[in-house]
Amino acid sequence: MKISRSFSLWAMVLREAESAGGGGGGTPPASAPPAAPAFMDTLPEEYRADPTFLPFKESGLGALAKSYKNAAGLLGLDKAHVLRMPVKDDDPAWGDVYSRLGRPEKVDGYELPTVEGMPEVAPEHKAAWLKAAHDAGVTKRQAAAMWEAYGKTAAAVMQQGQQAETARSAEVEQQLRAELGGAYDARVKGARDAVIAYGGQELADYLSETGLGNDPRMFKLFDKLARNLTPETLVKGPGAALAGPRSPNEAKAEIRKREGDAEFMKRYHNAAHPAHGDALQEMADLYKAAFPA
């Protein structure tokens, strides 16, 4: 019968399927995919030992593609625009690199600008600066820019110093005028004369250049020296103080000193004393200095 034959065929197919599946009736496990070959093994045989490709042994195809892209970008470039940088800092090849970047062949090839207000630089210091720039590979353009920046900074610093010195000088003058009163001009002139007399113009220039001339202690030193320059500037009498123009406070102190001097007061009050006139004049001068109009 047709049904019996179809059933028999179906039964035979089932038996063959069970036999192929090992009788378990389940889906057989999938096998693991084969391991990917190493990158170097994917290259043609003649390139596998080529040192050119060794840097890509670990990084693989992606790194090789990137390197190729970079190399392709250099194709067609003028070789004069491509620099080969030395690995070591002391490699003499750096000289060629510096020259191609714009460093002059010799130190005297630099052209430095003149900077307004820049203080004068000693020739030996300027020469040392240029040599250092040349040794470091500084280009002409860079050297000019660096010198200009240095000059502007130095000019600004010098200007600040001058302004500070001017302010200091005005402060000292105000202080001395308050202390010396009407005697200020004469005493300052005397101190300046003493500087020239004892130290010459060289000392005067030094005090001016260094600002020491504005130090009140220096003024007081040369003020005393000035009042010793000639015999006419000394007050008569043993142990007398230095004369010359006095400040009000100095004059008042001298008056008190004279009033406590018995010998002086004897000359001052005794009209018959030979030095009576000198004593009167001395006290008159002291009072005039102590209480200026």
SS (H, E, C) 102-117: CCCCCHHHCCCCCCCC
Is 47 inside a domain boundary? no
Report how far residue 283's alpha carbon sits from residue 278's, in angstroms, rounded to the nearest whole number: 9
Report how far residue 244's alpha carbon sits from residue 177's, in angstroms, rounded to the nearest whole number: 16
The pLDDT, as a whole number, for residue 58 is 75
Which of these three, 124, 156, 188, is where a domain ends?
156
As a dihedral over the C-alpha atoms of residue 99, residue 100, residue 103, residue 109, rounded to 10 degrees, the angle is 80
The pLDDT, as a whole number, for residue 45 is 83
Report how far residue 87's alpha carbon sits from residue 34's, in angstroms, rounded to the nearest whole number: 44
Q: How many structural domains comprise the chain?
A: 2
Name the packing angle between helices 262-269 and 248-259 (round to 10°): 90
The pLDDT, as a whole number, for residue 234 is 37
Range of the domain at 236: 231-293
The pLDDT, as a whole number, for residue 22 is 52
Closest CA to 283 of 214, 211, 238, 235: 235
Q: Record the pTM.
A: 0.47
* CB 208, CB 192: distance < 8 Å: no
The pLDDT, as a whole number, for residue 106 is 94
Question: Across the 293 residues of the chain, what is the mean pLDDT of every consecutive 10-residue run?
Answer: 51 59 55 70 80 78 76 63 77 86 93 94 95 94 96 94 88 89 88 86 89 88 80 39 67 88 88 83 86 80
The pLDDT, as a whole number, for residue 245 is 67
The pLDDT, as a whole number, for residue 72 is 65
Is 107 inside a domain boundary? yes
Report how far residue 48's alpha carbon sits from residue 39's, in angstroms, rounded to the nearest whole number: 9
* CB 83, CB 97: distance < 8 Å: yes
Residue with tokens 């302010």: 167
HSE, side-chain direction, 13 A CA sphere, residue 117: 14
Is 261 inside a domain boundary? yes
Which of these three, 118, 133, 156, is where a domain ends?
156
The pLDDT, as a whole number, for residue 239 is 36
Is 290 inside a domain boundary? yes
Most distant CA atoms of the chain, gap in Å: 187
Is 242 inside a domain boundary? yes
H helices of the chain, in order, are 2-20, 61-74, 94-101, 123-135, 140-180, 184-210, 216-226, 248-259, 262-269, 276-290
Q: What angle do CA 83, 84, 87 make, to 5 degrees?
A: 135
